[in-house]
Amino acid sequence: MSKSKFIFVTGGVSSSLGKGIISASLAKLLQARGLSVTIQKFDPYINVDPGTLNPYEHGECYVTDDGAETDLDLGHYERFLNVKTSQSNNVTTGRVYQTVIEKERKGEFLGKTVQVIPHITNEIKRRIRLLEEKSSYDIIITEIGGTVGDIESLPYIESVRQLRWELGKNNSLVIHLTLVPYLSAAKELKTKPTQHSVKTLMESGINADILVCRTEHEISDDIKNKLALFCNVEVDSVIQSIDASTIYEVPLMMKSEKLDLVVLRKLNLKSSKIADLEKWSNFVEKLKHPKHKIKIGLVGKYVELQDSYKSILESLVHAGSENETEVEVISIHSEHIDDNQINNHISKLDGILVAPGFGSRGIEGKIKAIKCAREKNIPFFGICLGMQMAVIEFSRNVLGLEEANSTEMDENTPHPVISLMENQKNITDKGGTMRLGSWECQIESNTKLDKIYQSKIIFERHRHRWELNNNYSGEFNKNGLKTSGINPKTGLVEIIELVSNDWFIGVQFHPEYKSTVESPHPLFVSFVKGCLDYNKFKN
């Protein structure tokens, strides 16, 4: 008898319908009823993890405490649930095959032909159930990436079919997320794509138990009845998911659609508590009715795709709600920054955030934006590469080391103020070899950071190879660029702050991975506050 109950979430009709948000919203509702819930995501691509993917391909790479480079949906899970995820929460086809092939090489299947069924499906099933062994969750939600009907999703769908059989009645259910499009010429919502998608799922032996239907218009009872009849689900299991102004409204919408009640009934689970979303509702209220407004420039080279900086954008939303402030984020392409843009645009902003990144494209633009922030005392927040660029800007324009650079950009720079650690020098593999995951950092007393964190020891997540070169830290500190956070074991500099400015901070880590609705990250909260103060002072 299984300890945990399983919910599988599949998608149909179209990609980008928001399976991650629906899964996270349902998990939130169940958690608010006192159940312990976790979510995992299976991605059907061959990369072992998304760490080697360009953000244009797949959006941001999210990093967990244990150093896993994962799909950005894990960010939603953590932000909604306020619980940590790990490598076990994200598995790709590449990782599944890698495990099976390694076993084959060791001779573990000696004499046998290794096949998709049963070897790949067994490995998928083992990984789905891994979380059940790790901790006693009441419910494990498994999101299957891709769209039903994709060739590459088939082994996952087959694994779900087998697992449902193995788990037995009332121990699992399938939620199918589809799109109910509106044809404006006919002024009608159309159910046929959903019917086809449910049928495709049935061809693989799976009946959807619940339909969650994305829609731009209210779904009438007539349409719900029609969907129920033709898709073989109960009428109350057709759940409308109408477009929301913010993703944080979705748990509230799912509560009023009674998704949690239907799920509990179908899983034969009792919960006397009703979902308490009071805190959550307060957060959404503040978000939707801000008292103030600021404009922050997000300087990066992947700005064309919103998902590239997902966690940063969400952290600003959390910090905005906390400060009762609408944060308008202006995307600034670092490759296009010139003096004209600095004078007419960037210098008028209430804050500048320079984003993480890799490689030399667009870095001179980032340096220009940082110079502007430093000289005009505009609140500046540099994250990872953004911090490294702030160090280079300071070295060039304050210390007069004109050719200062990172060895990532210029191997032969005479002033390698950002350089590679010894243990990184001989690494040739690109996947999973950066400084990754949670690292300790000690905060210096009487610094801006000390006030912000109100804690001497912090843990933050990293994803980078290069580091501030400690040969220069004496010079930096002497001239007002304070190294205010240090890794106690390695002595590596994790945080810098400019003493002369009101809010000028660079961090080598990624605070955005740890901001959640319930615990907005102190650095983002303080940055938004700093921008708000600057805005008031400016006007």
Specify whether the CB–CB gap between 223 and 180 falls below 8 A. Answer: yes
Shorter beta-carbon distance to ligand GLN: residue 11 or 437: 437
Shorter beta-carbon distance to ligand GLN: residue 384 or 531: 384
- Smallest distance, ligand GLN to C-beta of residue 427, A: 12
Shorter beta-carbon distance to ligand GLN: residue 9 or 468: 468
SS3 state of residue 31: helix
Side chain identity at 169, as an amino acid letter?
K
Distance (Å, rounded) from C-alpha 226 to C-alpha 314?
37
Shorter beta-carbon distance to ligand GLN: residue 415 or 464: 464
Distance (Å, rounded) from C-alpha 395 to C-alpha 402?
7
Judged by the rule CB under 6 A, the positions of this chain that interact with ligand GLN are 356-358, 384-385, 408, 463-466
- Smallest distance, ligand GLN to C-beta of residue 66, A: 18
- Smallest distance, ligand GLN to C-beta of residue 345, A: 24
- Smallest distance, ligand GLN to C-beta of residue 436, A: 10
Specify whether the CB–CB gap between 79 and 93 falls below 8 A. Answer: no
- Smallest distance, ligand GLN to C-beta of residue 15, A: 27
Distance (Å, rounded) from C-alpha 121 to C-alpha 115?
9
Specify whether the CB–CB gap between 533 and 325 falls below 8 A. Answer: no
- Sheet strand arrangement including 481-486: 325-333, 292-300, 351-354, 380-383, 504-507, 493-498, 481-486, 435-443, 457-464
Side chain identity at 401, as an amino acid letter?
L
Q: Which residue has the tokens 């995820």?
A: 85
Burial label, 155 (beta-carbon count in 10 A; 0-12, 13-18, 19+)? buried
Shorter beta-carbon distance to ligand GLN: residue 423 or 454: 423
CA distances (Å), origin 35, targets 52, 78, 212, 260? 36, 16, 22, 11
Active site amino acids: 384, 510, 512
Q: CB neighbours of 187 closer than 8 A, spacing ≥ 6?
A: none
- Smallest distance, ligand GLN to C-beta of residue 202, A: 44
CA distances (Å), origin 236, targets 221, 244, 275, 342? 10, 21, 18, 55
Shorter beta-carbon distance to ligand GLN: residue 255 or 463: 463
